[in-house]
Amino acid sequence: MELDLLAFAAHRDDIEITCGGALIRGAEKGQKVGACDLTQGEMGTLGSAREREAESEAASKIMGLAVRVNARIADAAVFNVREQQIRVVEILRRHRPKVVILPGPEQRHPDHRITPQLVFDACFFAGLEKFEPGLGGAKFRPRKILWCHTSFEAGKPGFVVDLTPDQMAKKVAAVLAYATQFPDRPKTEEWLRARARGYGLMIGTTYGEGYSQREVMQVDDLLAIPGTSI
């Protein structure tokens, strides 16, 4: 299935926390939205890989995902090496997403920090016709690559995606579907809503998610730029 949006992250539940709201919003607009977890999360202290798989299936239904795939890279062993690049290239060529969403580049967990480097490079290599002859799949590159903004990033996000209260409720429910990872449900919900309120305040709404891109954004109509300066 070809996708409009495809989010990548290292572990099951990372996508729900960082960009779950944007995926929910896209699915509600009728866009084909997917997620790719690079690992099965088998090194996590809480829960097993099988439990986290069942939780991810429940979360995917809540978010309205059309596709969820797993690259089957070993947990705590995500590296930007050719073997792992090939796995990501295969996924990109199979699903041909218009927009790819990556974790923020500044992260505490090594798998989280390497994931955006690995996937960005795979996005480039996926467009090389002679990359790994025999791999299969027509060459392809996404039109746009976005990075999630996190508390580890310096400065403000480039833009914020507005989340309605209903979309925020779905995001919370998707994260809480990971019962093994978040046993304290009230505390987790409070944390998620506090993060989202911070981004929402930046654009004058209740909830939001922050993102950045490398490109300078083009503006055709100055009167159509959203937001109020004073």
Exposure pattern of 110-123 as b/e (b: 16+ CB <10 Å)?
ebbbbbbebbbbbb
Burial degree of 154 (CB within 10 A; 0-12, 13-18, 19+): exposed
Give residue 97's pLDDT. 98
User: Domain 5-214: what homologous superfamily?
Assistant: LmbE-like (3.40.50.10320)
- Domains in the chain: boundaries: 5-214
- Quote the crossing angle between the two packed helices 110-125 and 82-95, to the nearest 10°: 60
Structure tokens, 82? 């050719």
Gap between the Cα atoms of 137 and 140, Å rounded? 8
Q: What is the pTM of this model?
A: 0.96
Give residue 190's pLDDT. 98
Q: Which residue has the tokens 């084909």?
A: 32
Give residue 177's pLDDT. 98
The upper half-sphere exposure of residue 215, i.e. CA atoms within 13 Å in the direction of its Cβ, equals 7
Judge whether 40 and 133 are in contact, CB under 8 Å: no
Give residue 100's pLDDT. 98
How does pLDDT run along the chain (230 residues), one tens digit per residue? 999 999 999 999 999 999 999 999 999 999 999 999 999 999 888 989 999 999 999 999 999 999 999 999 999 999 999 999 999 999 999 999 999 999 998 888 999 999 999 999 999 999 999 999 889 889 999 999 999 998 787 789 999 999 999 999 999 999 999 999 999 999 999 999 999 999 999 999 999 999 999 999 899 999 999 888 88
Task: Report the Cα 220 to chain-centroid distance in Å.
Answer: 28
State how far the alpha carbon of 148 is from the alpha carbons of 55, 125, 139, in Å.
22, 22, 26
Burial degree of 215 (CB within 10 A; 0-12, 13-18, 19+): exposed
